[in-house]
Amino acid sequence: MLTLTFHGHACFLIEADDRRILIDPFLTGNPAADIGPDKLPKIDAVLLSHGHGDHLGDAVAIATKHGATVVATYELAQFCNDQGATVHSMHIGGAHRFPWGTVKLVPAFHGGAVEGDLTGKYTTNPCGLVVTAGGKTVYHTGDTALTVEMRLLEGRVDVMLVPIGDNYTMGIDDAVRAIEFVKPQIAIPMHYNTFDVIKADPQEFRRKVGNRADVVILRPGESLKHS
């Protein structure tokens, strides 16, 4: 049994087996967030797709407060470590089993600068996150273009979290193709309507996906239970 709660933009909380994994915790300053970092339950791990401010967000503060581990690509993990967080560094193609589940990092095509790194020392590759917990596999694509590498996950994903906002990431049409590539059971759109430049209609995404997957549209604060 897995519970997935959307907290706006690209931030999701995964709850499984009494453990809580937070992904891309952009809460402070997020006009779409339903809660602030002070309202979160106890967090066991913080997973990051990349270092842009709307994904790195409150990661270090949350990890420090909760004694959680930040899981990220090597350079971004080192940046968080230098800011005082406990980290586990990984890189693209690698997987690691944690007490609460398994994470594999997969390619994403996007920028790699780290918010707050004035030297560029920690610039790194962005990634997607494939998280297996509670007997289910969740693919958080991160910010990405459509990539042929997504085909490698075909049939291996229960829930796919996919951006539809265009401009900085895939738009709706490419997101639909990503669903065709991966063939998840459930698709949840993200990274749209937070700002004017990424306005998109999730109902259009649902219509275009059709019967390829069950599209679940979550408002910030809403949850999906998958068993």
The answer to whether residue 1 scores a pLDDT higher than 90 is: no
pLDDT at residue number 121: 94
Cβ–Cβ < 8 Å for 207, 172: no
How far is the C-alpha of 118 from the C-alpha of 120, rounded, in Å? 6
Buried b (16+ CB within 10 A) or exposed e, 108-145: bbbebebeebeeeebebbbbbbbbbbbebbbbbbbbbe
> Pick from 162, 172, 166, 169: which is nearest to 205 by CA?
172
Looking at residue 226, its pLDDT comes to 87
Distance from C-alpha of 19 to C-alpha of 209, rounded to nearest angstrom: 32
Give the model confidence (pLDDT) of 164-185 as tens digits.
999 999 999 999 999 999 999 9
- Per-residue DSSP letter, 49: S
Residues in the chain, total? 227
Type of residue at 153: L
SS3 state at 34: coil
111 pLDDT above the threshold of 90: yes
194 Cβ contact partners less than 8 Å away, ≥ 6 residues apart: 8, 9, 30, 31, 32, 54, 165
Query: Looking at residues 71-100, what average pLDDT do you find?
Result: 98
The helix (run of H) or strand (run of E) holding residue 209 is: helix 202-209
pTM listed for this prediction: 0.98
What does the pLDDT read at residue 94?
Answer: 98
CATH number of the 2-226 domain: 3.60.15.10
Distance CA 178, CA 54 (A): 22
Tell me what pLDDT residue 17 has: 92
- Pairing label, strands 186-190, 214-215: parallel
At 227 the pLDDT is 81
- Condensed to tens digits (0 to 9), the pLDDT of residues 114-135 reads 999 999 999 999 999 999 999 9
